[in-house]
Amino acid sequence: MLEPKRKKTGGRKKGVMNVRTRLLKDSILEAAELAGDSGGIVAYLQAQATDNPAAFMTLLGRVLPTQVVADVTSRDAPAVVSDQIMTPDEWAEQWASYHKQTTH
């Protein structure tokens, strides 16, 4: 027989990183800082962009915010897709404008 759900009383709070994950992340950042000598992490990343462009572009793709905007309101017209990076305010403004057009 199933027990009724109980209120959660333990565990990590939402958004708090696991200790091992935090230690690993800190260690990776420290290693990059040291590998860059006097230029620090920026110098190390510049060297990686030149020496290992595929890996660097993968990293860049993971850290940059991306948004794909597609207009698929008509079956007869091709979808219009943009890779424009927008701030949250720009996105909200565009969405409000689009929503206003589709509801009137």
Task: Please report the pLDDT score of residue 21 as a whole number.
Answer: 87
Find, among 48, 93, 85, the residue nearest to 64 by Cα: 85
Q: What is the C-alpha separation between 76 and 101, in angstroms, rounded?
A: 18
Residues in the chain predicted with pLDDT less than 70, given as ranges, are 1-2, 65-84, 102-104
Find, among 49, 94, 86, the residue nearest to 66 by Cα: 86
Task: Please report the pLDDT score of residue 71 as a whole number.
Answer: 58
Question: Cβ distance 36 to 43 under 8 Å?
Answer: yes
Task: Please report the pLDDT score of residue 74 as a whole number.
Answer: 61
- Give me the residue label for tokens 């008509």: 74
**Domain map of the chain by residue range?**
19-63, 69-103
Q: Is 18 helix (H, G, I), strand (E, B) or coil?
A: coil
